[in-house]
Structures are given as structure tokens and as C-alpha cells.
Amino acid sequence: MSRSLAALLAVALVTPVWADDPPKGGGTVQMLIAKVEGDKLVTSTSNPVTRSVTVSDKEGPKAITVTEMIITSTARDLKYLKATGIDDKEVPTAEVKDRLKDGGLVVFLNSPLDATWKAKFKKGTLFVEYTSPKEEKKDGDK
């Protein structure tokens, strides 16, 4: 009996459980550290990079493996970005600037995320994605 219980438990542990449908729209979702500087949203990511380094030892040169954190910053024009909240309503640029003036986390999307998935995030979460720029009035236009 204990074998069948162990086998049932093993099957239960390796069988995937789908609580929800996958998000519609596909694409990638990234949690990024962001800060607004002027009219730019500056995001930073850090990635570990492992490499071999030769060091001097009393017995001669020796190769060791080291891991370094590489931080990459990307600046994006706010006019090309659209920010929304968990309710899928657009957040005005002025509010985005205010909320991220000292830095914070954003969820960066490369395509729209289904509203039902956005609703699962914590209140106050900012979703940011590229959008076509708003038309700017030129001095000669009325």
C-alpha cells in the first residue's frame, strides 16, 4: 500500500496543474527597476556573467572562474510608452513621472497583456509598453 501511495504522490508532483488559461497576446513580460529622468524612462537589469580569469599564484599562473554582475541601463522616450494599471486604464505621463521620480518597479511588456492577468498583480503596479507616439501640434497647425 505504501508503494501505491508513493507512486500516486510522485505522479501528483510531476503532473502540471493549470489554474488559469495562459495570457492572451503572448510576448514577454519583464519586471524592471525604473526611474524617470527628464522625459526618459530609464530601466536597469542585472545579469550574472561567468568567465575564466588568469591570476598569479606563488606556484605560477592559475585560471579561476569568477561571476560578475553586468548592469545594463536602457533609456526610452516617454512619448513612445504607454503606462497602465492593474485595471487596464491608462496612467497619465505626469503621474508616471511622479511615481517613478525616485525609482520603482515596472512590468515592461512587448505586447499587450490580457486584462484578467493584469488584475492579478498588486495594486499600484505599472505596466509599460511601447505605443505609437502622440501627434504633437506644430506652431503652424491649429
Q: Is residue 64 part of a domain?
A: no
Residue 26: predicted pLDDT? 55
Report the C-alpha gap between 68 and 46 in whole angstroms.
10
Burial tier of 53 (Cβ tally within 10 Å: 0-12, 13-18, 19+): exposed
Report the C-alpha gap between 16 and 7 in whole angstroms.
16
How many domains, the chain?
Answer: 1
Residue 4: predicted pLDDT? 45
Q: Which domain holds residue 126?
A: 22-46+72-130
Residue 7: predicted pLDDT? 42
Q: Are 111 and 27 in contact (CB under 8 A)?
A: yes
Q: Is residue 138 part of a domain?
A: no
* Spans in the chain with pLDDT lower than 50: 1-19
All cell numbers assigned to 136 = 504633437
Q: Is residue 82 part of a domain?
A: yes
Q: Is residue 126 part of a domain?
A: yes
